[in-house]
Amino acid sequence: GWESQILETGFLATFLCPVWNLRPVPEDTPTSKIVIWGFRWLIFRIMIGAGLIKIRGDQCWRDLTCMNYHYETQPVPNPLSYFMHQSPEIFHKFETLTNHFVELVVPWFLIGPRRLCMIGGAIQILFQVVLIISGNLSFLNWLTIVPSLACFDDASLRWMFSGRAGSVKDRVYRLQGRANQQLKVGSYIRWVFNISLGGLIAYLSIPVVQNLLSPRQAMNTSFDPLRIVNTYGAFGSVTKERTEVIFQGTYDNPHEPSARWEEYEFKCKPGNITRRPCLISPYHYRLDWLLWFAAFQNYQYNPWLVHLAVKLMSNDPGAESLISHNPFHDRDPPKYIRVEHYRYIFTKIGSKDARLGRWWKRSHVGNYLPPISLDSVKAFMKNMDYEYPRIRRRKKH
């Protein structure tokens, strides 16, 4: 879904400015209103799609309890998520109602009169800022702010610029004064092109609108191969429990109760219960995100997870660069790796655990990936056409 949103936003952005004119304010080729409306149509679809998928999806969106779980179970919580999760029940219901208002009602402001459109745009930007502050949803919220900017015209933004002669503000004012002047031939060509662009967007929007109206609405789907006009949606369902996959390595016999297992730590996902949740938005740790999905599936559904374990069993530099702590760094790699499944919950503010510096409490769910060695995965590596690693043991002095 994110890739499609980047493509569509970038596609529209290419038509904001003329190709052969590099001036900040091209006086002969002002920005097309069709492109501006294209951006407004994009933010409308993003938000209304997200709102509809929630109402049609998880029951907790209808009984106003989804925000009871969201902060704790979202892919990568941040420090503020810890405190937001422990807000009163009535506040969580208010948050859920506000979410429905922003995603189901406010989008209609965007196609209304000028003042209503600007109010809608401001609400959308504020909403995205709140999401940025309360969780690590990568660049998604920052990207969603971009089409919301099209809800504001030059007059509403003039306070941001200097009014001295020759400034951007002055040139925009003169450009608006020439609105009724005779257009040049090149401007007519651009006008025809923009009309064609509007027709293309309208045509490609037909299956998108049909999907939005369907009770079987698909989320984050493209109906054209170039992904120029797409349908969006987010968090149609909310997980009620947070589980994590924890990688562990050992030199010992993995079947002995006395085996000493040492844990790997990833860049941002929960692991060590005393580590403060990270703050990385708009950066995106893709591996941590994928491990969040893997935690409520199984390793058979995620063969790449076994491949990652094999890489860690060889202290592969590329794999090491994706994690924050390898307990076997500068040592021989482990002979065995396993993956354990844990349930994580936030500690209570002011509790004994919190006073001891623990952000999380965890309980063991079970084994996720049984202990493997490099010898035991040879057939798997060959079947998946993965490169078998070469191990260099450190010399003992």
Q: How many CB atoms lie within 10 A of CB 108?
A: 13
First to last CA, the chain: 53
CA dist 140 and 293 (Å) reads: 17
Encode 190-208: b = buried (16+ Cβ within 10 Å), e = exposed. beeebeebbeebeebbeeb
**How is residue 310 written in tokens?**
């094999």
- Which of 375, 367, 371, 372 lies closest to 391, judged by CA? 375
Q: At 52, is the secondary structure helix, strand, or coil?
A: helix
What DSSP state is assigned to residue 178? T
Amino acid letter for position 282: P
pLDDT of residue 176: 56
How far apart CA 100 and CA 96 sit, in angstroms, is 6
Instruction: Quote the distance between the C-alpha of residue 119 and its chain's center.
Output: 25
Sign of torsion, CA 217 219 221 227? Answer: positive
Q: What is the pLDDT of residue 38?
A: 95
Per-residue pLDDT of the chain (397 residues; tens, 9 = 90+): 678 899 999 999 988 876 666 666 666 667 788 999 999 999 999 999 999 999 999 899 999 999 999 999 999 999 999 999 999 999 999 999 999 999 999 999 999 999 999 999 999 999 999 999 999 988 999 999 999 999 998 778 877 776 665 566 666 666 655 555 555 666 677 788 889 999 999 999 999 999 999 988 888 888 888 888 999 988 888 999 999 999 999 999 999 999 999 999 999 999 999 999 999 989 999 999 999 999 999 999 999 999 999 999 999 999 999 999 999 999 999 999 999 999 999 999 999 999 999 999 999 999 999 999 999 999 999 999 988 887 666 655 4
CA angle 100, 101, 104 (to 5 degrees): 70
Instruction: Please state, in angstroms and rounded to a whole number, the distance separating the CA atoms of residues 71 and 346.
Output: 10
Instruction: Provide the Cα torsion 136, 138, 141, 143; round to 10°.
Output: 170
Q: Please, what is the angle between helix 33-56 and helix 89-100, to 10°?
A: 140
pLDDT score at 337: 97
What pLDDT does 212 receive? Answer: 92
Read off the tokens for 144.
């969603």
pLDDT at site 160? 76
- In the prediction, which pLDDT does 234 show? 84
Cα 81 to Cα 204: distance, rounded to the nearest angstrom: 38
Instruction: Please list, in sequence order, all residues whose beta carbon lies within 8 angstroms of the beta carbon of residue 97, skipping any fewer than 6 positions away.
Output: 64
pLDDT for 397: 47
Distances (CA, A) of 392 to 253, 370, 389: 21, 24, 10
pLDDT score at 348: 97
| Residue 368 CB contacts under 8 Å (≥ 6 apart), including other chains | 245, 298, 299, 339, 340, 341
Which spans in 57-167 are helix H? Answer: 59-62, 67-73, 79-85, 89-100, 114-134, 140-148, 154-157
CA pair distance 221, 244, nearest whole angstrom: 28
pLDDT at 153 (0 to 100): 87
pLDDT number for residue 150? 95
Bin 21: left if φ > 0, else alpha if -120 < ψ < 50, else beta. Answer: beta
Helix, strand, coil share of the chain (percent; to 5)? 50, 10, 40
